[in-house]
Amino acid sequence: MLTITLDDTLEQALNVLVNPTGKTINQYIKDLILEQIEDAEDAALGDAAMDRLLRGESTTVPYSEVKRRLHELDN
């Protein structure tokens, strides 16, 4: 469990954002934290992919080739 103390200004700003959603502040903050974690995980995956590419362990595929392959899947 995590407990945080918000100053009045931050709590008021959160209330303005949360009220139209129908969520509680707790749920809203949980959703924000989850989104932040997912973004960080995505960035780490992207960094790892770029590292593999720079080390020559991976290659890229030209956009024209991707389009061709997708077109083949549709047919």
CA distances from 3 to 16, 21, 68 (A): 21, 22, 52
Q: In this predicted model, what pLDDT tens digit does every residue of 30-59 receive, in sequence order?
A: 999 999 999 999 999 999 999 999 999 999
Question: Does any domain span residue 2?
Answer: no
CA–CA gap between residue 12 and residue 24 (Å, rounded): 13
For residue 1, what pLDDT is reported?
Answer: 87
DSSP letter for each residue of 48-73: HHHHHHHTTS-----HHHHHHHHHHH
Query: What residue numbers bound the domain in which 63 lies?
Result: 8-74
Q: How big is the CA angle at 38 (ends 48 and 20), to the nearest 5 degrees?
A: 155
Please check whether residue 1 lies inside any domain of the structure. no
Confidence class of residue 12 from pLDDT cuts 50, 70 and 90?
Answer: very high
Tokens 């960035």: give the residue: 43
Its pTM surpasses 0.95: no
Domain count, the chain: 1
